[in-house]
Amino acid sequence: MKALTTQQRRTRLAERIAFWSFRIATYVVIAVTSYIFLDIGIKGARTVFTLKPPFVNLPFLTESPETLYVFDYEGKKLTLGDPEFREWQAQHPAATVEPSTVAYSAGGIWPCIVGTALLVIGSMVVALFIGISSAIYLSEYSMNGRAIRLIRIAILNLAGVPSIVFGLFGFGLFVSFSLERLAPGGLVYARADGAARDHHCE
């Protein structure tokens, strides 16, 4: 067996160090991500599920978010949502308290669920129509001209862009200049999905 030179041994050592560095970094990322998702799942399960029938916290899923009021009264710490706090004030007109408020920490997440559903539906409608139509045209009917080649290159570039980048630039381009947030959001997701769809269809 041929003996390795000093340079070859150094090269192999550097390769092993780089390999194990990337492996350890990957394990760290997986461990941190797993911890985050487990933490979210455990804390979320305590909020969504209950020990009493129907075993699901329906008010949390069907109500709008509210401001949370936290204050001390007669030695007890009370945490009330906005309607409950107003009702408590009506029942205790002589009480003087200085509550600390936390926005959107009481109530439920119903508007978030509806907004997410409408956002997905809107983006899929736009992406299905525009994405598939453009993919069929580019694949079956278009001539291989300069403009078409530029469009194909643009589609390849868009298909390789992470969705978070679409979200960032979509927020800056559409949402910041629009009072309506849902339609621009749907267009951003539609563009991201449409680019991938064009690329796969071709």
Condensed to tens digits (0 to 9), the pLDDT of residues 18-65 reads: 999 999 999 999 999 999 999 999 998 988 888 888 889 888 899 889
Q: Report CA-CA distances (Å) from 113 to 23, 62, 119.
A: 38, 9, 10
Query: Do 186 and 126 form a contact (C-beta atoms < 8 A)?
Result: yes
CA nearest 47: which of 107, 116, 102, 103? Answer: 107
Domain locations along the chain: 6-48, 58-108, 111-201
- Single pTM value for the model: 0.61
- 147-174: average pLDDT: 77
CA quadruple 183, 187, 189, 190: dihedral, nearest 10 = 130
Strand partners, 78: 71
H or E element in which residue 114 lies: helix 110-126
Residue with the bigger pLDDT between 116 and 199: it is 116
H or E element in which residue 98 lies: none
- Give the C-alpha separation, 182 to 122, whole Å: 9
